[in-house]
Amino acid sequence: MLASLLIVFREMLEAGLVVGIVMAATEGLAGRALAILGGIGAGVSGAALVAGFADMIAEAAEGVGQELFTAGVLLAAVAMLTFHTTWMSRHGRKLASEIKEFGRAAVKGDKSLFALAAVVGLAVMREGSEVVLFLYGIAASSHEGIGAMFAGGAIGLVLAAAVSYALYRGLLTIPMRHLFSVTNGMIALLAAGMAGQAAAVLAGADVIPSWGERLWNTSFILPDGSWLGRALHALIGYSAAPSGVQIAAWLATLAVIAALARWTPDENRKPKPAAPLTDTKVAARG
């Protein structure tokens, strides 16, 4: 039971941290509960599907199918996260002021919500497929009984959900006018971490050059296998001994997101000479 508890918690913690950030980043958007739950549901179905086709994926592309698939999933998530941060630099200010005033947003955030729900789905699918394979293995060899396995798995899941919720509540203590700047920063780091991971996986499969393996090694301070190491791996892509291409992908993603955010005009700040009333309202809100 402890084995299934630990592995479910470990794998779902990463997805849980993503969900926590996404929940804070979509605070006040209409329909977000449904979107995030939908993302989780799709992720669970996807995980079962990926686990079911594990054979085929492993044997595809002469044995590097797994790496190509993982990198593809990660890069899709990076694209969605980048879209969100860009969308937020356009609408974030307005969103925050509306939530402050009315408790919820009038801004339509459907596209951004969809992008983040997809990120949740992809994270759950990626981590969940390993859980499915592991639990299936236990069920098949069944030394400890399926009941104990599911009990352990359920506790692990609840614990991961608790961490996710704690992160969300923690982020909500940030004042509304700063909340989205913080979540945007976290999402940019999340995207950079995933891009770095994708690069590491591709370099690990010898599909792209590694530009130097293990450029440094901080595992004596913070090992990858420790809980903090795992959490930071999920949040910012921490790796005790990263490769050159991993660092390059990490930096490049942050640079692209920062550049997009900078060059995307904030719609709420744009002066609208035709409607002076809006302008004064904006000024009043500061």
**70 DSSP 8-state letter:** H
Name the residue nearer to other proteins (CB basis): 156 or 242: 242
CB of 237 to other proteins, least distance (A): 13
Name the residue nearer to other proteins (CB basis): 201 or 254: 201
CB of 251 to other proteins, least distance (A): 18
Name the residue nearer to other proteins (CB basis): 69 or 83: 69
Structural contact between residues 71 and 249, judged by C-beta atoms closer than 8 angstroms: no
Q: Which two tokens stand for residue 263?
A: 């060059």
DSSP string over 98-137: HHHHHSS--S--HHHHHHHHHHHHHHHHHHHHHHHHHHHH
H or E element: which one contains 3? helix 2-25
Residues at the site binding other proteins, with contacts judged by CB under 8 A = 3, 7, 54-55, 58-59, 61-64, 66-67, 130, 133-134, 136-137, 140-141, 200, 204-209, 213-214, 219, 223-225, 239-243
Gyration radius of the chain over CA positions: 21
CB of 52 to other proteins, least distance (A): 11
Name the residue nearer to other proteins (CB basis): 141 or 173: 141
Q: Distances in Å between the alpha carbon of 265 and those of 88, 195, 261?
A: 10, 25, 8
CB of 240 to other proteins, least distance (A): 7
CB of 247 to other proteins, least distance (A): 13
Name the residue nearer to other proteins (CB basis): 213 or 266: 213
**207 DSSP 8-state letter:** S
Length of the chain: 286
d(CA 141, CA 155): 21
Number of continuous H segments (helices) and E segments (strands) in the chain: 10, 0
